[in-house]
Amino acid sequence: MEGLFIRSVAAVALSAAIAARAYKRLSLDLSGAILGFLVMAIHIAAGYRFGALLLVFFFTSSKLTKIGQEKKRLLEEDFKEGGQRNWVQVLANSAIATVLVVVVSAMTRGHGMCLDTKKSDVVTALIGGIIGHYACCNGDTWSSEIGILSKAQPLLVTNFKIVRRGTNGAVTLDGLLAAAAAGFVVGLSYVVTALLTAECASDVAWRQLLVIPIATAAGLLGSLIDSFLGATLQFSGYCNVRKKSGVNEGGE
């Protein structure tokens, strides 16, 4: 219990500092910063490895959002300086994982546990769900932020026809490679923090490395699924006056 208390105190302090910094740098608006604080505190208090997953996703996606802002301003109708996100976007990217984190913490009573089906199939599956969630979210964000800057002509994921930049469902090779890299980073961050902080028997420690290729695939798959949904369910308009496409939700 002492370890859980210390981790909870650290979670509150660290989350408050990060949320304040994100608000100051326009990565989050006030509502996003408040909800982001709560989500971060829950993740870190539940386990440092869960906090690492969330923070890797948040910091890397925020950094990439600010790259090439001049070009993105010209292409994106909903462009926001600094990529400022509100509470709705924070909730959309963290709600499922937060629920799973709370369930895992309750089932393990706050004790760190490596992925080990021999100990618990359920806990292993839940942790896998958390990793997969952030791998997909990170993959989608990286692919969108990097893909739209690609010099290659984007293709619609459903029929591979050439479309305008910013079109929902458009993909580029750069964007897809970025999605895989995003999943890789999420998987690597989990493995490193899990091996350092979780209770992991020597005979199963090496198996944690399998998370990396699986998370890499999840990052790519998450981007492709989002692109498919964007191509089939979302409207893609283009304004001839402003020379801008609609919201870019695909894997371009």
Per-residue pLDDT reduced to its tens digit, 68-77: 776 766 666 5
Helices (H), 25-160: 30-46, 48-65, 69-75, 87-108, 121-147
Predicted confidence at residue 3, as pLDDT, reads 67
Predicted confidence at residue 237, as pLDDT, reads 55
Predicted confidence at residue 40, as pLDDT, reads 97
Predicted confidence at residue 250, as pLDDT, reads 45
Domain ranges of the chain: 1-241
DSSP-derived secondary structure letter, 208 = G
Which stretches of the chain score pLDDT less than 50?
A: 241, 247-250
In the block, which residue shows the tokens 């326009």? 26
Long-range contacts of 54-57, Cβ-Cβ distance < 8 Å, separation of 24 or more: 54/94, 54/97, 54/134, 55/18, 56/134, 56/138, 56/185, 56/186, 56/189, 57/93, 57/134, 57/137, 57/138, 57/141, 57/186
Q: How far apart are CA 166 and CA 147, in angstroms?
A: 9
Model pLDDT for residues 21-34, shown as the tens digit of each residue: 999 988 899 999 99
Q: How far apart are CA 99 and CA 16, in angstroms?
A: 21
Identify the burial level of 249 via C-beta atoms within 10 angstroms of its C-beta, where 0-12 means exposed, 13-18 middle and 19 or more buried.
buried
Share of the chain above pLDDT 70, in %: 86
Predicted confidence at residue 80, as pLDDT, reads 60
Provide the sign of the torsion angle of the four alpha carbons 142, 144, 149, 151, taken in this order.
positive
Model pLDDT for residues 70-122, shown as the tens digit of each residue: 676 666 655 565 567 899 999 999 999 999 999 999 998 888 888 988 888 99
Predicted confidence at residue 30, as pLDDT, reads 95
Predicted confidence at residue 190, as pLDDT, reads 96
Angle at 139 between CA 145 and CA 51, to 5 degrees: 110
Q: How far apart are CA 29 and CA 23, in angstroms?
A: 6
